[in-house]
Structure 1
Amino acid sequence: MSPPHACPHIAVIGIGNVHRRDDGVGPAVIARLARHIEEGTLSLSVGLHVSDGEPARLIARWEGADLAVVVDAARTSRPAPGRVHRWDTDDLKLPPAAEASSHGLGLGDALRLARALGRLPQHLVVYGVEAADTGFGTGLTTRTAEAVELLADRIVREIHGHRLRTSPVLDGGTAST
Structure 2
Amino acid sequence: MRRRGRIAVIGVGNEFRRDDGVGWAVLARLQDRPLPPDADLATCDGDPGRLIGLWEGASLAVVVDAAHAHPGTPGRVHRLELDAGVPAQPATTSSHGLGLGEAVELARVLGLLPDHLVVYAVEGADGEFGTGLSPAVAAAVEPLVEAVEDEIVRGRDASAGRSA
TM-score over 0.5 for the pair:
yes
Matched-pair contact (CA < 8 Å) for 1:82–1:129: yes
Distance 1:56 1:80 in 2: 30
User: Aligned pair in 2 of structure 1 residues 157, 28: CA closer, same or farther (>3 Å)?
Assistant: same
1:34 is matched with which residue? 31
SS at match of 1:105: coil
Distance 2:8 2:89 in 1: 18
SS at match of 1:167: helix
Distance 1:89 1:159 in 2: 15
1:70 aligns with 2:70: no
Q: Which segments of 5 or more consecutive residues in structure 1 lack a partner in the other structure?
A: 1-6
1:104 aligns with 2:97: yes
Matched-pair contact (CA < 8 Å) for 1:88–1:94: no
Distance 1:59 1:18 in 2: 21
Query: Residues 1-177 of structure 1 correspond to what in structure 2 (within 5 A)?
Result: 8-36=5-33, 40=34, 42-90=35-83, 95-97=90-92, 100-168=93-161
Supply the RMSD in Å over aligned alpha carbons: 2.1
Distance 2:13 2:50 in 1: 13
Matched-pair contact (CA < 8 Å) for 1:87–1:95: no
Deviations 1:9-39 (A, max 9, x none): 1000000101100000010011011111xxx
Distance 1:94 1:145 in 2: 30
Percent of residue pairs identical: 54
Larger Rg: 1
Q: Which segments of 5 or more consecutive residues in structure 2 lack a partner in the other structure?
A: none
User: Aligned pair in 2 of structure 1 residues 169, 122: CA closer, same or farther (>3 Å)?
Assistant: closer
Matched-pair contact (CA < 8 Å) for 1:68–1:121: yes
SS at match of 1:82: coil
Distance 1:93 1:116 in 2: 10
AA at the equivalent of 2:25: A
Matched-pair contact (CA < 8 Å) for 2:88–2:105: no
